[in-house]
A and B are shown apart, each in its own frame.
Chain A
């Protein structure tokens, strides 16, 4: 039954149609292969001000001073985490390495660390 439906569907495809389909698949693969990698950004904010905005490709440790003390952010091999923080609950430290698009908030120290892709600001069409 399914095979019959499929073969009747395939009969509708002329040789040129297969050619166009193959060209389309090749073109689509090429387009995806060439797709520019999303530009990644680590954004560290303290008290609402952007302290640092860097690529996660450069390994470093950043010390951000807040009201309770220093929050240490570690950037390593394209990943980012809050290494240590003076806040009592340690939520942002326990969050570990951030997934793309994730944000760690160390609230009492007013530090936020975001691993984001830099996007276009206009996407309404």
Chain B
């Protein structure tokens, strides 16, 4: 009989658990989305960005960065894409869009809501990916003809995701006010 292994105690803070739960939600959305057939290669709904937006508004950019990195790595591992070009693209897009989003959340909320920010984030996401493709993955490929359809898709998905995030934030604010919709 071997002795039972010593009990491991992992000390977690409330923030750790929150990050884990939200990252799990983002990973879930990423995986569900991978099952949706895409009309064009490279076009995805980007549902996990709803989580990023919500987190950014409610908990700040540090938590959002954690959740983005966890989501990109975990969903790539689950889909068998870790360290493939797809993973690099997904990471590049996610980090670029977060880098653009984080300062934008400081804009006056009276004038700029999640919908507009999400559109800008989607544009940044696409731009980050195109730069990586052009500089590293496929240098020399003529990217120009690909840009218009991808940009329009990014704008539409960005708007829809942003509206979903805005609706969820409004719901949250209403609940916080004790004012049921």
Contact = CB atoms under 8 A, between A and B. Distances in A.
Interface of A: 9, 12-21, 24-25, 27-28, 31-32, 34-36, 38, 120, 122-123, 125
Interface of B: 41-42, 85, 89, 107, 109-116, 119-120, 123, 133, 137-138, 141-142, 144-145, 147-148, 151-152, 155, 159, 162-163, 166-167, 170
In terms of DSSP, what is the predominant structure of the interface of chain A?
A: helix
A34 B151 CA distance: 13
Sort A-B residue pairs by CB-CB distance and give the 3 closest, nearest first: A17-B116, A16-B112, A20-B116
Secondary structure of the B side of the interface?
Answer: helix
Contacts of B42: 125
A24 B115 contact: no
B41 A17 contact: no
B155 A24 contact: yes
Given A125-B133, A125-B137, A14 B148 contact: no
A75 B41 CA distance: 34
Nearest to B150: A31
Given A12-B113, A16-B116, A21-B119, A125 B142 contact: no
